[in-house]
Amino acid sequence: MRKDLGSLPAVFPMPVLMIAAYVEHNKPNAMNAAWGGICGMDKVVFYLAPDRKTLANIKLRKAFTVALADEAHVKEADFLGIATGNKMPDKFERSGLHAVKSTRVDAPVIEEFPLTMECELLEAADMYGEIRVVGKIVNVIADEKVLDDNGKVDAAKLNPIMFDQFRMGYYGVGKKVAQAWNAGKDLMK
């Protein structure tokens, strides 16, 4: 039997995206955002509240990075979602994470996260009270430890965390269950 749960964001999994941009004096700032994903072969999208410090920084520099949070850094990733740069100017320093300047865009790359998309701002538009941020992915950098023998990202080595909107938890990805564009081939007959 099914039960009505009302209106709620019932999508799982949601990637835990670490959005980073510079504040004044090339000081890194970062936040945890779960409302986002890919919206094209070379574009990423996420939604932020209009008052987010990171949003102001992105608009100022017209660039940002998006890293996938991993199991090894769940504590730091969660902290960057709890704390706000509007009230805690040393938020990034308190996280214990380290950043270097991207070689492709005017934004920081958080060294501890093994996969980062370097992005140029394409759009920051109001969408029903939230700001939809769309960025062009100009490059993806990955730590070699998360690559397979063919140089492709191996999700098992990446260990990304996912956000559970139902019970407000973080989960690991788990095992591969099938090959895409292959598992359903026999139904094509």
pLDDT in tens, 61-88: 999 999 999 999 999 999 999 998 889 9
Query: Is the entire prediction scored with pTM above 0.85?
Result: yes
pLDDT at 148: 96
Superfamily per CATH, domain 14-188: Electron Transport, Fmn-binding Protein; Chain A (2.30.110.10)
Domains of the chain, residue spans: 14-188
Neighbour count for residue 89 (Cβ, 10 Å): 13
Type of residue found at 145: K
Kindly provide the residue ranges of all beta strands, DSSP E only, lying in the chain, ordered along the sequence: 14-15, 17-23, 27-33, 36-40, 43-48, 63-68, 99-101, 108-110, 115-127, 130-142, 161-164, 169-172
Pairing of strands 14-15, 161-164: antiparallel
Provide the mean pLDDT of the chain.
94
Neighbours of 164 (CB within 10 A): 14
Q: In the structure, what pLDDT confidence band is assigned to residue 25 with cuts at 50, 70 and 90?
A: confident
Helix (H) or strand (E) holding 60: helix 53-61
Nearest to 47 by CA among 90, 102, 39: 39
Residue pointed to by tokens 């095992």: 175
Q: What is the pLDDT of residues 173-189, one digit of tens each?
A: 878 788 888 899 888 88
